Structure 1
Amino acid sequence: MHAKKSLFVLLLAVGLLSSCSVSKSAMKDRKTIDGYWLLKSVTYTGAQGNFKSQLFNDAPSNCFEGSSWYFRNNNSTGSYVLANSADCGPEERFIRWSILERDGMNSQLQFKFVDDRYKDISGSQGYRLDIASLSESRMRLESKVSVEGTPVTVVYEFIKNE
């Protein structure tokens, strides 16, 4: 009887570990994203005209151009600081991030806001951005939104900042 109980506990532990594992692809993306990045530009595709947007319920898009981002792979934490101008707050914003894989679709970088001790301050609400392209030196993230019923893609172009 003791052997059956031990086998059950072992199988349960293996099942839990395998359900929490990260795929090789996601691990590779996480390692590539790890480090310091500069958000070089925020652009919009899919519609004509000028756009005024508030990104991540935080600040206008012009504050994000030139912002500094940090992603730490080993504990899924990070932060960003907006570009330095009178319209943009200089304080550091802390995030917890991960990679979400989707069958037949681009993986996504997802993040939520946390405090400086990495406790959730967003009520478990967060953001997902499609990883359109990713290399050791460049990252292109996209999010699809609707503006007055017209689909628009917000494009975030990052360069690695070593």
Structure 2
Amino acid sequence: MKHTFLFVALAGLVFSSCSVSKSARTQRNLFSGSWTLENVSYENNSGNFKSVIFNDVEDICFEGSDWFFRDNNSTGRYTISQSTFCEGGDRFFRWSVVEPQQNYASQLQFKFIDEKRKDISGGVGYRLNIANLTEQAMTLKSNVSVDGELVTIVYEFTKK
């Protein structure tokens, strides 16, 4: 009897330590589904910017891209349309919501995988601050340094 109780208590502790908070579950559920990246813009600095995002393609190629997040297995993909300036196709990733530290926003983190869900990024991934997330719209932000100056890349999505 004591061993059974101890086992159940230990199993409960293990499962609770691996569980995701209610806030993170809510955000994961909101991410789930298909989105369109409508606009990529820049904040905190003036001038014209052109950047390669996620070490993939130029920022203009991301505008109009389709994104899909599957919350039951934490995988997703985004699709870039083929054009003269953009190498089109699907990019697959594994994603999660990172709980906020004190005074910080929650973050979306992801790393690239192949069609068989194997890591192809050597463990390198990306984190974007979740500035806004509703059932219909999402705004993500990432801070980068340009010539020693802070620039924030803003990604604005709408739900399909």
TM-score by length of 2: 0.94
State the shift of 1:30 in Å: 0.8
Code of the aligned partner of 2:147 = E
Aligned to 1:75: 73
Is residue 4 of structure 2 the alignment partner of residue 6 of structure 1?
Answer: yes
Count of residues in Structure 1 that have an aligned counterpart in Structure 2 = 159
Sequence identity (%): 52
Per-residue Cα deviation, 1:63-96 (whole angstroms, up to 9, x for no partner): 1011100001111111001133222122210011
Give 3-state SS (helix, strand or coil) of 2:9's partner: helix
Aligned to 2:136: 137
Question: Runs (4+) of structure 1 moved beyond 4 Å?
Answer: none
Aligned to 1:113: 112
Give the CA RMSD over aligned residues.
Answer: 1.2
Is residue 31 of structure 2 the alignment partner of residue 30 of structure 1?
Answer: no
Give 3-state SS (helix, strand or coil) of 2:84's partner: coil
CA distance in 2, matches of 1:147, 1:83: 27
- List gaps (5 residues or longer) in structure 2: none
Code of the aligned partner of 2:79 = V
Aligned to 2:88: 90
Aligned to 1:102: 100
CA distance in 2, matches of 1:107, 1:8: 35
CA distance in 2, matches of 1:119, 1:17: 25
Code of the aligned partner of 2:106 = S
State the shift of 1:4 in Å: 4.2
CA distance in 1, matches of 2:120, 2:130: 25
Aligned to 2:13: 15
CA distance in 1, matches of 2:52, 2:88: 16
Give 3-state SS (helix, strand or coil) of 2:82's partner: coil
